[in-house]
Every structure is written in C-alpha cells, then in structure tokens.
Amino acid sequence: MAVDDAGPCRARGRGTLGVIVTGSASGPDLQGLHAAAREHGYVLNVFGVPGRGRSAVPAAVAGLRLQGVAGIVVLDPDLAADLPAVTGVPLVPAASADQYEGARRATEHLLELGHPTVWHVGGPEEGPIARARERGWRETLERHGAEVPPVVRGDWSARSGYRAGQSLAVEPGVGAVFTANDHMALGLLAAFTEAGMRVPRDAHVVGFDDVPEAAYFAPPLTTVRQDFVAAGRQTLAALAARIDGVPLPREPVEVELVVRESSRCLRTR
C-alpha cells in the first residue's frame, strides 16, 4: 500500500517521485533521500513491499504508475536485480556507498591494532551489499596474508547479531570482529557482555552504517559512516538524467571510518 508523504509541499514541488522500499530499507537511507528531495523541490510517495519476492517490484511499479509519479527509485539494493525492463516510467536503483571500500577500511583498522585476523558477521548471502562488504573483508585479509575465518551469517537484525556473538564468544582466539551492519554489532555486543567479554578490553568490534544510535552503544561503536544525503542527491541526479534521456555515469558514494571506544583500546585478553 502506498503512503503519501507529500504533505503541504505538493504544490511547490517540481514533481512527485515514487520510492519502493522494504522493511530493511526504511531507515537513514530513506531519510537521506527525503532530505535530497526537499532540496530539489520533489515530493516522495513511498510504496512499501513485503520481503524480497520476485513479484514485489513489478506490482509496486504498477501501483506507483497509477499515482502518476514522474519517476521511481528502488531503495533496497537487494531488489535492484528485479527492476522491470519496461515500466512506462523512468526507474533507477538508489545510489550506494562504496561498500567494498568501507569493509576494507574496517578490516585494515582492526589489523592495524595488532590482531592476526578479523572475524566477520555477514549479512544475507544473497544480498549484493552483504556480498560486497564480505568481499572487502575477505580480500583485505588475503592481501595481508591473514587467515580468513568462516563467516558467521546474520540477517541484518540485532537478534541475529546476538546469536552470532554467542557463537563467537566461545570460539578460541576471537579478538576482532567486523559486523556487516550496526544493528548486528549491537546484538553481538550484548552477547559478548553476557559471556563476560568486555569490549574493548577483550575484543574490538567495528560495524557499518553509523546509525544515529551507534554513538550511544555500550561501548560507543566504531563504524563505517555512509553519507545518505549525498547518496540521495546522486540518486535524484540519476533519475533526472533518466527522465531527460541523458546517460549519467554513477560512482559509489565515499565512506568514512568513525573510530569510537569499541576499537580504541588495546585488548588484554
């Protein structure tokens, strides 16, 4: 079902754009797109789809077409492979941060703290973002000649991070963990605490995304920051170019490693 987020700004906007989201793509990335849309006078109609079924995107496109949107953004990268070839309305996937580079920086940071290797709590194996972050972690370890531990798989939720933390807390030699997002890092930190492991005394942890709450985790989380507003601007530029029929090269949005307490101290374990 579509959610009209236009409010009183409809008359001032240059047009209404459709946005297709899933539950996992309704956080800071959508907020960044909203901010970029406001800068350019666009109004967003957000269409939520359940899960990642193959039929979800065409059905959402059909619903947004009936609303007369000027263009459509598919916000969840995991749905990008399902973009219809012909829609009757310009459609683009959302711009994305440089996932590989973010994972590389996170892994390099942990190795520079003196760890012989870095464990990884990854996202769903079929997801392009999870695969890019896992590849950045894996290839960084390989370049350093470090052992590549088996990936502990999660589903982006804090619950799955908690379960991953339970398994890693009893694994010998776990001193550094790169989690594929901040929510899984939150669960992992809780599991470590329950197991008597103190971060950063006994282990270092790095997340990805820099969600607003990350600075207030216990301890505050080192993480890879994505500029969601910059990604939103790039997405709108790509959609405007598609509407005008002009090709526009797209580059990944730059990322930044934000170092906080979860990786600041040398561990003593």
Q: 141-164 pLDDT, tens per residue?
A: 999 999 999 999 999 999 999 999
Residue 83 has pLDDT above 60, yes or no: yes
CA 186 remoteness from chain centre: 15
Mean pLDDT of 30-46: 87
Mean pLDDT of 254-267: 88
Q: 193 CB contacts (<8 Å, ≥6 apart)?
A: 199, 218
- pLDDT at residue 54, rounded to an integer: 57
- Are the C-beta atoms of 199 and 224 separated by less than 8 Å? no
User: Is the bond leading into 219 cis (omega within 30 degrees of zero)?
Assistant: yes
- pLDDT at residue 28, rounded to an integer: 77
pLDDT band at 80 (very low <50, low <70, confident <90, very high): low
- 201 vs 267 pLDDT, higher one: 201
- pLDDT at residue 248, rounded to an integer: 75
- For the chain, the residue count is 269
- pLDDT at residue 184, rounded to an integer: 98
- 182 vs 50 pLDDT, higher one: 182
Strands (E), 146-254: 152-153, 176-179, 204-209, 222-226
Q: Which CATH number fits domain 99-225+257-263: 1.10.287.70, 3.40.1390.10, 3.30.1160.10, 3.40.50.2300?
A: 3.40.50.2300
pLDDT band at 67 (very low <50, low <70, confident <90, very high): confident
- pLDDT at residue 101, rounded to an integer: 97
- 23 vs 168 pLDDT, higher one: 168
Where in the chain do CATH 3.40.50.2300 domains reside? 2-94, 99-225+257-263
- pLDDT at residue 65, rounded to an integer: 86
Structure tokens that stand for 115 in this block: 């760890």
Residue 198 has pLDDT above 90, yes or no: yes
Q: 209-236 pLDDT, tens per residue?
A: 998 899 999 999 999 998 888 999 999 8
- pLDDT at residue 9, rounded to an integer: 33
Q: What are phi and psi of 212, to 5 degrees?
A: -55, -30
Integer angstrom CA distances of residue 226 from 196, 250, 257? 32, 16, 9
Single pTM value for the model: 0.82
Architecture in CATH for domain 2-94:
3-Layer(aba) Sandwich (3.40)
- pLDDT at residue 126, rounded to an integer: 82
Lowest mean pLDDT among 30-34, 54-58, 166-170, 181-185: 54-58
Residue 13 has pLDDT above 80, yes or no: no
Helix (H) / strand (E) element for 100: namely: helix 99-112
For a pLDDT cut of 70, what percent of the chain falls above it? 87
The winner for highest mean pLDDT among 47-51, 74-78, 123-127, 191-195 is 191-195
Residue 110 has pLDDT above 70, yes or no: yes
